[in-house]
Amino acid sequence: MNKAVVEDTMWTFLSMGGQKGNPELMNEHVQRLLRMVKQKNAGQKEYAKKDDISFDLIDPIKWSIICEAVALCLDERFEKVIELFKEE
């Protein structure tokens, strides 16, 4: 499937509304991205270890983070999160 088609499909889904944020899932994707950028192989497959995450997955991980962040912001409960950070 074409990358542009996947991105368009994700945005179409988000524009429908009614999403519930999933902070655990967003955290999982962010942690995966952080692990990728800390790997010692610089994205080169010949130097990759068995448990390294392939840099071929960077676009899907990036889009998962973006979509989860948007879903969180669209979630009606997000105002409570904003208030939590204002209290500090």
Q: Give pLDDT tens digits for 20-76.
A: 889 999 999 999 999 888 887 766 776 677 788 888 888 889 988 998 998 888 888
Model pTM score: 0.72
Burial annotation 61-76 (CB, 10 A radius, 16+ → b, else e): bebbbbbbebbbeebe
Burial annotation 21-40 (CB, 10 A radius, 16+ → b, else e): beeeebeebeeebeebeebe
DSSP secondary-structure letter at 75?
S
